[in-house]
Amino acid sequence: MNTLTDTYPLSNGVGIPCVGFGTWQVPGGQVMETAISTALAAGYRHIDGAAAYENEPSLGIALKKCGIPREEIFVTSKLWNAQRGYDRTLAAFEKTMADLQLDYLDLYLIHWPANKKQFAEWEKLNSETWRAFEKLYKEKRIRAIGVSNFHPHHLRPLMENAEIRPMVNQIEYHPGEMQAETVAFCREHNILIEAWGPLGRGKLSEHPVLTRIAAKYGKSVAQLCIRWCLQNGTAPLPKSVTPARIKENAEIFDFVISDGDMAEINQMPPAGSSGLHPDMVDF
C-alpha cells in the first residue's frame, strides 16, 4: 500500500481504500462537515460512519458539498442494535440512506452481534438481520456487506445459514489488542479485517515501546499505529477532528516498519483496550 486510495480487494472483487476516516464521537453539524472536508482534502476517500453515531445527516451534507464524484468515495454505515431483524433492518437502511442523501452504500455492517446474554435465539436474530443485508446486496443497494465486532462463534452460525458470506469484519484492533483468533478465522474465510480504534482511543500515545519505536522513524505514535495496522494487512480507521492530526494521520506511506520492530509491537502485552466484549455488551 502506497497511498490512501490503494485498495484491498474484497471477496466479491470490490476494492476498499486501505485507510478509512472514522467518525465515531464526531459531533454532527459544522464540526462533522469540517472534519469530512478536511479529510477529503488530505486524500481520504474512505469514510466510516454508522447510524448510532448520530451524525449521518451532517456526513450527507459534507459529501454533497465536497465536489468529488460519488464513485470516488467509499462510504460505510452500520446497522444499530435496536434495529436488528429482517423488517427493522430494511427500515433502518432506508433511514440511513435518507440521512446520507445517497443512492447506494459501498459497505453496510451489522454493528454488533446479537448475543446470548440478551437473546435466547441470538443466532436466529443475527441470521434474520443478515438475510435483509443479502436482499439489499442483491438489489445493488449496497456494494459490499459485512459485520462488526463478531468473533468466530458469532460468524460460524451466521455463515452456515448465509447465502452470501460477510466480506468485512470491523473489530477493535491496535497494538496491545490484536484479537488473534478472530483475525485468523477471518483470513481463513477471506474476510477483510478493518481496525477500529487503531490508536487505542488515545491510550497508547505515551506507551514506552511505541514512543521509542516511533522516534526511530521520526513519526508520531499515531502514525506508527496506523502504519502497523497496514503492515499487518488490516484497514485502519483513524479518527480526529483536529485538521493537523487528520493530515498527519494520512502521512504514513513514507516509511516502513522493520520486521524486528513489527515483531516487538506484535508481542506487546494487552494495552489500550476499550474493554468492550460482544458477548457482554447490553446495549
Active-site annotation, residues:
53
Q: In what order do the strands lie in the sheet with 46-48?
A: 21-22, 46-48, 74-79, 107-110, 145-148, 168-172, 192-196, 235-236
Whether the CB-CB separation of 197 and 173 falls below 8 Å is answered with yes
Strand partners, 235: 194
* Sign, CA torsion 242/56/110/16: negative
Return the SS3 of 62.
Answer: helix
d(CA 169, CA 234): 10
d(CA 20, CA 277): 23
Radius of gyration of the chain (CA): 18
User: For strand 192-196 and strand 235-236, is the pairing parallel, antiparallel, or unpaired?
Assistant: parallel
